[in-house]
Amino acid sequence: MKFNTKTIHGGQSHDPAYGSVMPPIYQTSTYAQSTPGGHKGYEYSRTHNPTRNALENAFASIENGKFGLAFGSGLAAIDAVIKLLQPGDEVISTNDLYGGSYRLFTKIFEGFGIKFHFIGMENASEIESYVNANTKLIWVETPTNPMMNIIDIKAISTIAKKHQILLGVDNTFATPYLQQPLDLGADIVMHSATKYLGGHSDVVMGALVVKDKDLAERLYFIQNASGAVCGPQDSFLVLRGIKTLHIRMQRHCENGKVVAEYLANHSKIEKVYWPGFESHRNHKIAKDQMNDFGGMVSFTTKGNNYEDAIKIVEKFKYFTLAESLGGVESLSGHPASMTHASIPKEEREKTGVVDSLIRLSVGIEDIDDLIQDLEQAIG
């Protein structure tokens, strides 16, 4: 089954009761039993729910995995992964990381004795020097948020397997339409399904996908024991969103390319971050491991002035100033004061998240309207 068909049919079956084409929303917390333990596969909806199971099957299908897990948010999904570890374990993570992930790692799990190393991963060969006997996980974002750095998943997988370390990849920006980390050697794929998988800015959810049965069982135990699951209504919404992922992503990519090229040729723009440029440091890796370059674009204005950046995002009409990304509508953000505000200024500026940086989530509107919006806002 090819990808475009998987988004619609992957892991799905018609409802056995009445032949419903879409899985019904099983809005129930519990299930009748004929005798203690005698049930039809479901006993309590924190553990299993038919609507959520249909979604988890879809997650597994589109990522070429075997087991999918749905959580109440992307951070809840990451939280479950870190709970695989023990005090004294160490994690190597990219230094250009979503601010919420950084906050979870440093403000929560460091307090439980887990050590994190935040390093540049654009050159995979430099990672091995940080590996020691306590290293249990390498955590990767690619493309990274918001600097659009590209990390070689296959090369890092080679290092991880050599040292028997788990490799987790946050695939939120790329989506499985563009990139499938499990096929490149990753052990765990994570999504903030709030973003492109849901695609309509109307739900908050996280996802994990794995191939290994033992790893899946450990994560299912954590999911059930910790209880950070999503409800059936949200499951239905994301399942609906996945069915149009392929056509939405095609337009996101088309519009993102035009926006990136427009900004690159604008006299008031200092630098544009988009992996589709041949000048991008790891463009070749992006071209090899991705099917296209996505709809996320970041840029800085000349002079690197905070006030100029704020004026631009406040003037946008179609690029709505808001948290999040990946919806059908275009969004803009100021990472230094929004998504990455939890990262100390000195640390975030080392990675390029300066006060003049603006991040765009390019939607699927008519591209002429988006370019006109950029023109009027930037001047």
* Active-site residue, selected from the candidate residues 26, 98, 177, 196: 98
Give whole-number Cα distances, 156 to 127, 139, 315, 320, in Å: 8, 10, 41, 36
| SS3 assignment, position 238 | helix
The length of the chain in residues reads 379
* Active-site residue, selected from the candidate residues 15, 31, 42, 46: 46
Decide if 115 is catalytic: no
Beta bridge partners of 361: 296, 331
Closest alpha carbon to 73 in 223, 244, 295: 223
Decide if 187 is catalytic: no
Locate tokens 């935040």: which residue? 118
* Active-site residue, selected from the candidate residues 96, 152, 170, 373: 170
Decide if 318 is catalytic: no
**Strand order, beta sheet including 206-210:** 67-71, 206-210, 188-192, 166-170, 135-141, 90-94, 115-119
The Cα–Cα gap between 227 and 296 comes to 32
Closest alpha carbon to 29 in 52, 59, 55: 52
Decide if 234 is catalytic: no
Q: Give residues with Cβ within 8 angstroms of 121, minimum separation 6.
A: 94, 95, 127, 140, 149, 151, 156
Active site residues: 46, 98, 170, 195
